[in-house]
């Protein structure tokens, strides 16, 4: 079976083609580029011949409808969308109303749990930064949501009069004494990075203080920016949501 897997986030859309339990031919496109050039820019990069199309979507119902239409024409397949449920692939959701949890968080947890089968903190650093904790038995203990690095910097610019708009740099040193900026722009950049890193580090300390032995699993567009800043080395999984989709798809066969 060949499946087209799609991770539709707030800022970009990622995809991969799965065959024989592996994901190959990955790619990504920003929503900005889709707005400028249309969804045809996306499908020009995708194969026609696939057996299934399975997606995680947090970009809204309207985008899902547009995506379903153009993928249907391109591949001749219906797009099936993952849903957050109470239990799947050994993970139990802590939400009383599971559908209220963002499906990207749920699918990322599935991807993490199937790989490590032990207590873990699943961190996705994108437009928002999300942290979800799973215990050694696969039970979701809860999570946190905070602004991502770029969103945090943008909020400072829009809600103050003297802090300029910061254009996000992908390479910035914020380790050691470099965490202290020597101008306003670098102070904002370092502060936003440090806020996200500090939240993750505190989660790991708190879990260990309460008897858990978690592995830290990191994904998301800004993951590479904070890899070297964390107190302990994480497992970096750029395609975690795609692998979660693959495991969910395999569990249904």
If we measure between CA atoms, which residue out of 41, 89, 35 comes closest to residue 59?
35
Give CA torsion, residues 31, 197, 243, 69, to 10 deg.
Answer: -20
Residues 53, 100 share a domain: no
Residues 6+ apart with CB under 8 A from 130: 102, 104, 105, 108, 122, 123, 124, 143, 144, 145
One domain, residues 96 and 124: yes
pLDDT tens for each residue of 151-169: 888 888 777 767 777 666 5
My answer on whether 113 and 221 are in the same domain is yes
pLDDT at 175: 64
Instruction: Provide the number of structural domains found in the chain.
Output: 2
Residues 23 and 135 in one domain: no
pTM value? 0.92
Does a structural domain hold residue 132? Answer: yes
Q: What is the mean pLDDT of residues 187-201?
A: 91
pLDDT the model gives residue 171: 54
Predicted local confidence at residue 252, as pLDDT: 82
CA distance 57 to 238: 17
Alpha-carbon dihedral sign for residues 190, 193, 199, 205: negative
Q: Report if residue 117 sits inside a domain.
A: yes
Same domain, 135 and 233: yes
Active site residues: 104
Token pair of 198, please?
């500090």
In a domain, 162, yes or no: no
With respect to residue 165, please indicate whether it lies within any of the assigned structural domains. no
The answer to whether 217 touches 235, Cβ cutoff 8 Å, is yes
Q: Are 251 and 89 in contact (CB under 8 A)?
A: yes
- 122/226 same-domain check: yes
What does the DSSP assignment read for 163-226?
A: SPPPPPPS----SGGGGS-SSHHHHHHHHHHHHHHHHHHHHHHHHHHTT--PEEEEESTTHHHH
| pLDDT, averaged across the chain | 92
- pLDDT tens-digit readout, 29-88: 999 999 999 999 999 999 999 999 999 999 999 999 999 999 999 999 999 999 999 999
Would you say residue 170 has pLDDT above 60? Answer: no
* Position 172 confidence tier, pLDDT thresholds 50, 70, 90: low
Task: Give the pLDDT of residue 169.
Answer: 53
* Domain span holding position 51: 2-81
In a domain, 252, yes or no: no
Q: Which region holds residue 174: left if phi is over 0, alpha if psi is between -120 and 50, else beta?
A: alpha
Query: In terms of domains, do 32 and 139 share one?
Result: no
Residue 183's pLDDT is what?
Answer: 85
- pLDDT tier at 107 (50, 70, 90 boundaries)? very high
- 200-236 tens-digit pLDDT: 999 999 999 999 999 999 999 999 989 989 999 999 9
Residue 198 counted as domain residue: yes
């Amino acid at each position: 079976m060949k499946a087209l897997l799609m991770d539709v986030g707030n800022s970009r859309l990622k995809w991969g083609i799965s065959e024989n339990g592996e994901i190959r031919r990955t790619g990504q496109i920003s929503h900005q580029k889709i707005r400028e050039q249309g969804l045809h820019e996306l499908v020009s990069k995708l194969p026609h011949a696939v057996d299934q199309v399975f997606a995680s979507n947090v970009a809204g119902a309207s985008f899902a409808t547009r995506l379903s239409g153009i993928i249907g024409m391109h591949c001749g397949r219906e797009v099936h969308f993952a849903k957050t449920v109470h239990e799947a692939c050994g993970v139990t959701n802590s939400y009383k109303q599971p559908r209220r949890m963002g499906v990207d968080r749920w699918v990322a947890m599935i991807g993490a749990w199937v790989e490590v089968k032990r207590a873990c903190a699943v961190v996705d650093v994108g437009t928002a930064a999300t942290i979800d904790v799973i215990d050694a038995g696969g039970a979701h203990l809860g999570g946190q949501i905070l602004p991502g690095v770029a969103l945090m910097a943008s909020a400072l610019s829009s809600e103050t009069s003297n802090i300029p708009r910061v254009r996000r740099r992908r390479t910035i040193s914020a380790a050691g004494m470099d965490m202290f900026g020597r101008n306003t722009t670098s102070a904002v950049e370092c502060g936003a990075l440090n806020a996200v890193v500090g939240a993750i580090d505190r989660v790991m300390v708190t879990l260990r203080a309460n008897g858990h032995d978690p592995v830290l699993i990191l994904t998301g567009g800004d993951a590479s920016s904070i890899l070297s800043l964390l107190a302990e080395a994480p497992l970096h999984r750029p395609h975690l949501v795609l692998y979660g989709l693959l495991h969910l798809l395999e569990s249904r066969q």
